[in-house]
Every structure is written in structure tokens, then in C-alpha cells.
Amino acid sequence: MHEMTDKKIHDSVLELIGNTPMVRLNNICADVTSEILVKLEYLNPSGSLKDRIALEMIEEAEKSGQIKPGATIIESSTGNTGFALSTIGRLKGYNVTIYETMPGKAGSEKEKMMKNVGAEVRLMESEDTEGLKERSIAGSEVELPGRQLCLDDEKADSSVWWARQFSNETNVKSHHITAEEILDQTDGHVDVFVQSIGTGGSLLGIGEVLKKACPNVKVIGIQPASSKELWHPGMDFPVTEIKGGIVSRMLKSGAVDALVRITDAEAREMTHRLWREEGLYCGVSSGANVYFAMREAKKTDKKLRIVTLLNDHLTRYLTEERYVT
């Protein structure tokens, strides 16, 4: 990750990735003793924490010779990684193709965003989820058909590089830097860390570093209630060419203490509170994170320092508000 400097003019928007600010919640925490600190990942240039992994994965692939000039970067995504790779890949001069797996109108919205910055987008025809009672979406599950197509494309064409966000260790390593930022901002004092699980990269990467620096820290991961797979720490999770990866390692790592689930409605309700009561214009996974941060705060009269991420911007949810990982 590019280190922040004191210069007044940056040479590229890529230098603005990372080093996001941290804010203490006020009104939402009025009735609890603990403090909740939120790291504003939606202030990254493309609007989400996925800028961190997109930049690091591409630059690592450049160094190792996996990407050469004129290459095409491909990925399967529900939106944030797709847009981050589209933004950064195009800035670096590569072709970018994204299999967009977000169902419904929101998928079409994300398709337009990525096309606007010069990417090719192949919108996946996933099942219509309009009528479902539980409308949260587990990215690790809906992305699977797109991952298979990425694998097929990469095998068929040597100029294609699949980023493999779900299994690329650079994803995890990029969040070691996020964790170092958190430790710097909190003077090394974190009691609880909460994060939604998509690829598992941010939860594992941050959890690994925090566990070393703060041995008593409690690390909590969140799954959508719609997930067909119920995970728990220590379990075996199968690894294939399109599945497992970081999640499999995360479950065995010892870096995560608890895995919880949340409904779409619960996540949305807290997201609206963040907009209205704190002026924090984040997306729905951020509401899920703060919901469980508050649950931890309400368990004790001690003054815990609870840290979480606001993963992306509310502009990702103009068409539909859904808890998507």
C-alpha cells in the first residue's frame, strides 16, 4: 500500500487508497458505556475498502509477471471488488471484464457504474430474489457461477488474469496494513473488532494482526441470514478451484472468535441510523457491522473500545438497499 505523505498535491488518485479516518459514534452510543469507533472505508477513491485489495493484487501480479501490458483482468463480483478492479485496472491501462453477480435492479446499476469507467461487464442471470422474505445476499455463494466462468476464461486465454479475490493471499496481506492503521489510530488498544465476511480477507487480515498486538481482543465475523452455509470457527471447509480459499483458512486460523448472522432488515435499520444520527453515509454491510458492535457494547458496563469498518458508500444502494457481502 502506498504510504501517506505530507505532500499537498498527489501524483495519482491511487495514492489516496488507505489511510482512512476513524470516527467515534456519538448519538447511537448515548446509552452505552463502551465506545464504538468506525473506520471510514467508504472514503477510498472508488467508494469501498476493496480499493485496497484491488491495488495490492494488481501490483503483486505485475511484480510476479502474471500481468503484462495489454492483459485483461477478470473477476466475479457482487459489486465493490468489480468496481475497484475496473477503476484501478483501467487507470493502469489494462482491459477489465467483470462477471457481475448481484441479482435484480442493483446488478444493472453496478453494471452501468463499471461500464462508465471502461470495463466490460457480463451481467449474470441469477435467480430473481424480489419475492424472498430474507433479502440479504451472501457474495461467496452468488459469485460461484461467475468464478467458474473466470476459471474457464483464464484457461482459454493466456492474456487473461483472474484476480481470484476469494483465494488470493494478497487480499489478506493488504488488510494487514488496514490493521496497522487501526492500531495507530487507537494507540494499540482494541477490545472488540467486528467485520462482515465476503471473501474473508478483511476479517482474517485484520484479525491476524490485532490478535498479535492485543491478545485479548474479541474478533467477530458476520454472515448474512440468507447464507446456505452455516460457518463456525474451527470447522473444515472444502477447497476447490472456485470455492473455499480465504474462508477455509480463516475458519481454521484462530483469528476469529465468533461468527454471527444478521437479517437484511436489521442491517438496513442500523444503516439508516448511521445516516440520520451520525452523518455517516455508508452502505448496508456497515449497518450490519455497527449492529453487532452495539450488541457487544450492551453486554457490559465496562468501557470497551469496539472497532469496526464502514465498508462502502450509500451510493452503492440507491436502487435497492440490501445487506450484501
Query: Which residues are catalytically annotated?
Result: 50
Find where cell 470455492 sits.
Answer: 243
| Total count of residues recorded for the chain | 325
Helix axes of 104-116 and 80-91: crossing angle, nearest 10 degrees: 10
Beta carbons within 8 Å of 73's beta carbon, 6+ residues apart? 58, 67, 85, 89, 94, 95, 96, 97, 161, 163
Which of 33, 132, 140 has its CA nearest to residue 76?
140
CA dist list (Å): 187 to 18, 173, 181, 211: 18, 21, 10, 15
Under a CB-based contact definition with an 8 Å cutoff, are residues 135 and 102 in contact?
Answer: no
Helix (H, G, I), strand (E, B) or coil at 86: helix
Which of 101, 97, 117, 116 has its CA nearest to residue 159?
97
Which of 2, 30, 40 has its CA nearest to residue 185?
40
What torsion, rounded to 10 degrees, do the Cα atoms 83, 98, 284, 305 define?
-70
